[in-house]
Structure 1
Amino acid sequence: MEIPTKHNEIGEEHCQDSSKENIGENEENDEYDTTVDTEWEMEYEASLESDYSSCESELVIEPQPSKEHLNDIPMHKYPFKLKQNEEGNILTVHNTIKCVSRDLRIRIAACCFNELSNRLVVIDRRGSIYIFDFVCKRYWRLDCTVLGTTLLVTSPRLHSEYIVGTKSGHVYTLNVEKSTLQQTKVGDSTIDEISFGNRLNSCSACNALIRLGPAAVLLNFTKLVLSHKLEFDQSKFTLKFASFLPKSDKFFTCYTNDTIHLWSSFNLETLYISQPIKARDRKKRLMQGDQSKIPEIALRAEYDEENQVEDDLAFTYDDQPFTDGKLLAYSFSPNGNKLLLSTVDGYLLMLSTASLDMENLFKLRDFILKQFVLMAQPKNRIIFGITAAGMAIMLDLLQTEYKLIVQRSNAVNINVSRDGKLLSVLSKSGEVNVWSICRLYNALHAQTKCISQVRAALKTPTAKLPCLVSGPMNQELQKLLKRERLEAMLAEFGCYPEKYRFIIWSTLLELPSNAAQFQALLKRGQPLVIKQRARNIKVKSDAQRRAVVKVWSCLAHWCKVFGHAEFMPDLIYPFVKHMTKNSMVVFELLVTLLLNHLELCFEFHPLPPCNYLAMCENVLQVHDKQLSKFYCAMDVQPKEYAWPLLTSGFAEVLEEQQWLVLWDNILTNPPYFIIFVVVAYNTMQRETILRLPEKSDVVYFFHEQMPIDVTKWLSRACKLMNNCESNVHPQRFMPPFAPIPKGVYPKFLKYPREWIEQQEQQSVELMKQQQEIDARLRKLELEDIKIKDRLHQGLKQEEHVRRLKEMEQLYQDTIQREEERIVSQRKILLTYQMEARQRKSQVLSKLRESEQRRMILEMEKDIDGLMRSVERERRRRNQEMLFAEDEIRNQEMELMVQRYTSCSLNSPLSVKYYEDVQKMRNESDKLKRNLKQMTLEQVELCREGRISLPNLSAIEDSILEIQQELTDILNSENSSQ
């Protein structure tokens, strides 16, 4: 169904007061981009149920209220219109503040889609958080901020929850519905990765893995508590990647030595170890050098014809560092069964997460992927990635020749929604572009069908592509790049633009692009002398090494002397480094230099060119006599201070950009200008050279990089060339510049041809002699091998017979030992039987004794129980007696109180208490009789049970005390009367 087109909607916010201007100044210090006209620009394709008017309107984002009133004012949501883009770009978000004096771009730090793929969350560099709702077409800003955001991912627990990582090592849990933040500090470094395991609801499991540079931590996401801290910093390698496998409790780590470890989160033990780079190299070796079996992906075919000419000679080389290993980025398939890895040398590896074995291999011909995402549909074949040049692309792994460029530049980060329908691309300029993956896939599919139909119509084979480099240069471009314009450009800027530098070089040298002649030289292969000396070429990149050998071989076929010149690889490599894939251009450039600038350098090969170096010495003597005298005093010859600079093309003493600027000027000026460049380098470094104490230090000085101002150096070289005297000027001895003619490479004649031929003849003779010697040696070795085989067979037979005898003797000795062992075992058995009978009788006697002891113990147990029961009864009786005694005392006291109250105060106590005293005496006598009777009964019980008599003296003493108290009371009363 076709979706109607909508217009852009623009929101603007103006800074009216000084506080806003100050904010703008702070943002400028943070290096924000300030080149955008609008503040919020949103373009989105309308959903099927939406219908908006096509008129264009403006949206003003209202200023946010102060924090103290945020809780009282409801969150306001602003509408935005939606639009359809034919290319698939459905939304563009950027934030630009329009101040009074300038426009200030607030760059976006991170963004992501939610779990339902209906919202986009954006956080800018100021920490402001914006929500874009694609269903109700509204956006709003939260009242909380997060500063220093580096990472934003959705939380797997709640649809409205997000996880934010910062530069300071904090992890924030953001709830966009409640506008709340929870934080925990997991380290001091920048958070680079956050991944989750499959046990999210567990309160004790380590269900989140966070990588902070070379360290990683396992986090209990439910409690926000660190469970483990994983330190991987070692002397040889450090941690590079760490992530949970999707829908798994396993996580993997990758180190800077390109080793991958698969871990278990239960016990933190290693399950698998893999080395993908070694597996890739092993697979390439098994292919026996047939690289056509590896699927290849290239982006050059995507350029139009106008840009092809520019790209032919631009030859950008990504000098990626190899200190962190070759693995550059990774991505899992959505179901977690595939792991994709990209390398800095242009490969894409597909591994199985079950065993970490390599399943597929892809070659990236002219780009590398620094970030990519593998889509779930269709069939794990579509990849969205970002190249090292900042280009967002779409690749088809099943049909590698079809690809789509989503965004041509400035792409920094990509994010795909959960349902695989939306793609967000974060740009370096601080904006976010949202694309419809469905439209991108349809565009790729349409491109595939279109190319297939064109090829079918034209009957063009798909495997063979035209060589863009070998074709002639665009005629209109040649007319524009005239020498006068180029010289004026060089005089004004000091160098040529980097993008068009090699096109300009080709124009200045008038390179003919003799493709047929160059192919003829290539077909001749490598000369024998090149094969022998190519082993000593020390270049890290295999592609560059092959390119150096290819160009050197062509030069050796063109002229034999260049194959014997040992310094040729040093002269070729700087040019090959910047034009690795264009060997023909490098070859023709070097041929032009050798025919014009360095023609006199091979007259006395293999000796240094005395005539050429003498010109350098003459110019130096005229313009710097002090340095010339110093060289004479130190016995330093021109072959030691001029020849090393020429043989390496000045690459040994300069950095890469300085070298390019220098050769911009050398190729623009006459051929003899290079001599003045050599002399100018010596004069520029004269203060350092004059302070060198020894000759060896002076010689080594011209083989190392020293700080130098290239602009001043070239200015001095031009001054020397213009002011040089005619009698020593190299112009007298060097012919004017002559380019290579079209269709032929002219012969190089100024070299000792007879000596080269003699050397080649001697080399051939020596080779033949060496072959004869090798043949004789092989023959002698074969005879020696045969003699050794015969001797070995005899010794082997003799050894076999001896071993048989030893085996028979061994068997006999073994049988005899077994018989003796059986006899001794029988004796031991009889002894054991006798000892067993004795132990049996001892056991029976011990059993009887044990039974008797058991019976005695039972009897003692019964007696103890009876004694305990008697003791308990005695204690109970004693307690009853104590209770009775206490009751008697209480009754006596009550009687005394009653008598005291009933009797008059004047009556004597003896009269008042006479009756009570009598009753107490009667009761006392009765108590004594009861006590005596109880005592007698107790004595009889004790005699029967053999229990000691209880101590009743205490009770009798208490009774006597009571009687004594009563007597004292009566006596005191009588005395008072």
Structure 2
Amino acid sequence: MKRKDDGSVVVMEGHTSPAKGIHSGSRSPLVLSYNTDEVFLWSWPSLTLTNKLRLEDRVAVVWAGHVWQRDELVVCFINGSLLLWPSQDLSTQRTIEPPSGLDFDFTAFTLSSGGEWIVGGGKSHLMVTYSLVGRRVSQVVQLPSSCNSVYQAIFLPPVHPRFCQVLAILNTTGVLNIIDFTSMTKIKTVRSQRFNIDSVSVSEDGNFLAVSYANSITKVYPVNALFPEDPKNVELRNIKKRDELLDRNKWYPILVEFKSYPEKYRSLIWVSMLELPRNYLVFSTLLDKGMHSAFEGLKEVLKLSDGSLLKTLQGTLSCLAHWAPFLSSIEYLPELIFPFVKFFHSNRLLCFEVAVTFIMNWCRLWFEFWPKPSVTVLTVLSNEDWVVLWDHIFSNPPSFLPCAAAAFTIKSRHTLLTCEDAQDVKTYYSQEAWISVKHIIDKAYFIYQNTSAETLPKELFGELKPMPKGGLPIFNIGPRDAREEERGNVERKLRNLSLRTEALKHKQSKATEDTSRLAEKEEMVYTIGRKDLEKQEEECLNSILNLRKRHLATAELDAS
């Protein structure tokens, strides 16, 4: 055996047969070595033999040790009995007999970390707890069904707040079970599919468990890894880890360098960039409302051959309409939402939340003048190019979208200049174009970075506003009331005309007085010509005023 201080090897002689085990502790001044017939005491650190306990008249020894907390020596026997001595007086001994009726051989004993109990077991599903304080058998407990036939048992240190007394029990089949000693329930099982476990041991500091297998390999496990984690801590850590992994600031440098996100992880990155809350309960409530009547005939309109995709699209559109009824009147909504549904079709919740986030952030100005001519839903890019473009749109503020649309038009200028009429232009914007998506993106960034605030009022588009957690955003981007807007414009123009008319009359009155004073000094022709000019200007303004009044009256009549 090696000394702890200098690492030298000391020969411990005296046993008449091979030693079965050695017990020593960091706080114990004694080392015990034992076999089935004898127990030897050695002083530490000199490792000199100080005493011998000959037990020829008793049954075989299974375990022996020094309980330093009580300064006692304990010897455990195969029949379940215990023999105790004060370490300073070996002539005094006490015995704890096993419970009557137990008919099995004990093969393993272990001492609790506080020195209060010893637990023993053997070829049975029962374990006996001995109280060293009361010097008696405390209880007999039954192990879980998979933990019978104990080969080795070890008390693990209390590293978990929920489990203060934990046993590591190795059974004869080579399987290690971690047991809550208080409730006798199994916490964890450690096993190998190919090799049995031969033995286990705990490090001196109690932080690691060494497990030796039949193939001569020893694996070391952190003791705290053997326990279930607190659900609250797991959830908080998972949230923190998810937030770190899905931080949108970490994705953008990848996009800048590689011009697109990895195809394999694109859906996850989009979810991260849009900060989708995944409100399952809210989405379930909308789903429970069923199919919206506006989209019942969608199959005949879109002619989709994929029934699953059609069902997902109908469900997404119905949820959107239940959330914002106005959207059911947008004729091009299915075509607008379809690419996102196709991309996320395996997850209906993400289909819905991506659509809501897209509408609330990138479509705020699209519906304001409905039902006047609205945005044409375009299919000018292939599916591969479409997702790459949206990598950049989702990674930038909403004001980047009109820059991308302008970039496409600028890159198409040579083709557009050859169009002979409006129908040719419309045809061009409704079919897949030949322009490289890379060129479109590069031009979009150039426009976005070099356009003045007056030309591109970024504050009008705002920054990304993610969906609230546990709820839905308020849909407040419906169409303006065209008649109210027109009436307001007419009233503003009438007020301006009235002010101009009053100013003109005042000016005319003053001019007439001046003309009267100068009439004798100026020629009559000049005076008449000036009055005619002013009269014509007044008649023109009055005519415009009357025209506006008739326009307003017509608008009010239509409203009624």
Same fold (TM over 0.5): no
| TM-score (normalizing by structure 1) | 0.25
More helix per residue: 1
